[in-house]
Amino acid sequence: KIGIAGSFGKTTMREILKPVLSEGKKVAAPPHSYNTPLGISQFVNTLQGDEDVLIFELGEYYPGDVRKLCGMVQPDIGIITGINEAHLEKFKTLDQTAATIFELADYLGEKSTYVNGESELVRKSARAGHVMYNGERAGDWKIGNKKTGLNGTSFTLTKNDMKLELNSLLLGLHQVGSLAACADIALRLGLWPDLVKTGMGKTKPFEHRLEPKIDSAGVVTLDDSYNGNPDGVKAVIEFLVSLGGHRRFYVTPGLVEMGARTEEVHKEIIKKISDSGI
């Protein structure tokens, strides 16, 4: 059982893990954002009982939420995808947000917890023994040859004399760390490298999360309308900047639940867009 917690990126990690692990295991994961006790219960009622791997999103809205969900699903592996102001209106402070999300690591103790090192607040809260992943490394794997565009993302993983060349239909270099962490988990669970490579090739954009659409006039729309956090906004802007030879427009209604940092967060977004040339 894999538990995923974080202010952002939970569903993306779930949708990466499922096709990759399904190459060698029977895998079940909830649909949509079923990350509350009721939603998880509805998902559990659909299980057959012969699954090899179950993937759970652990939603956090108030202190203690992740701890309660851990007691409910009893995960064996944890992934902490990132911490930011996504629910600051309810948590009041980022320290409280971090403490709640790291209730997953507290529950797992000596068991494996993967932590996203690209998130500053995750790095500050990470402890010895946690498996760090980012755009350069995933555990003991070194990441190289990173490329991205409208057709997808590719990179290599190397460790000692092993080398994996991986491709995904997901867009943006911000996805590489998560993809690499997923590959490491799959290999730890016994999948052969060829199966990991095949499964990675099946990872693709999903609804309203940097989902590309092309109309009859050739205009590309990247539907990222489910994105509601500052780190996600930053990643999309950086991806748009990387697309040379195009006119690029960024359209957003703004972010909610930023609490006391609402004005500051939006000024940072405005500055990043202004500096980008979009």
Strands of the sheet containing 152-159, edge to edge, are 27-28, 53-57, 2-5, 77-80, 113-116, 131-133, 137-138, 141-149, 152-159, 162-168
Cβ contacts of 144 within 8 Å, gap of 6 or more: 155, 156, 158
Length of the chain: 278
For residue 8, the model assigns a pLDDT of 84
CB 271 within 8 A of CB 250: no
As a whole number of angstroms, the distance between CA 259 and CA 255 comes to: 10
pLDDT tens, N- to C-terminus, the chain (278 residues) = 999 999 888 988 999 999 999 999 999 999 887 889 999 999 999 999 999 999 999 988 888 999 999 999 999 999 999 987 766 666 677 888 888 999 999 999 999 999 999 988 899 999 999 999 999 999 999 999 999 999 999 999 999 999 999 999 999 999 999 999 999 999 999 999 999 999 999 999 888 888 889 899 989 999 988 777 787 888 889 889 988 788 889 888 888 777 788 899 899 999 999 998 88
For residue 7, the model assigns a pLDDT of 86
Amino acid letter, 120: E
- 260 token code pair: 């006391």
Q: Are strands 113-116 and 53-57 parallel, antiparallel or unpaired?
A: unpaired
CB 90 within 8 A of CB 260: no
- 207 token code pair: 């609804």
For 53-140, strand residue ranges (E) read: 53-57, 77-80, 113-116, 131-133, 137-138
For the chain, strand residue ranges (E) read: 2-5, 27-28, 53-57, 77-80, 113-116, 131-133, 137-138, 141-149, 152-159, 162-168, 211-214, 220-223
Please tell me what DSSP assigns to residue 112: -
For residue 179, the model assigns a pLDDT of 97
Question: Rounded to two decimals, what is the model's pTM?
Answer: 0.86
As a whole number of angstroms, the distance between CA 88 and CA 73 comes to: 26
CB 85 within 8 A of CB 94: yes
As a whole number of angstroms, the distance between CA 39 and CA 81 comes to: 20
Which ranges constitute the DSSP H helices of 74-190?
Answer: 88-91, 94-101, 103-108, 120-125, 176-188
Look at the block and give the residue holding tokens 């989902």. 211
CB 122 within 8 A of CB 140: no
CB 257 within 8 A of CB 228: yes
- For residue 131, CA distances in Å to 57, 105, 123, 171, 199 come to 19, 11, 11, 24, 22
For residue 186, the model assigns a pLDDT of 97
CB 202 within 8 A of CB 188: no
Q: Identify any residues that bridge with 58 across adjacent strands, giving them in sequence order.
A: none
For residue 93, the model assigns a pLDDT of 78
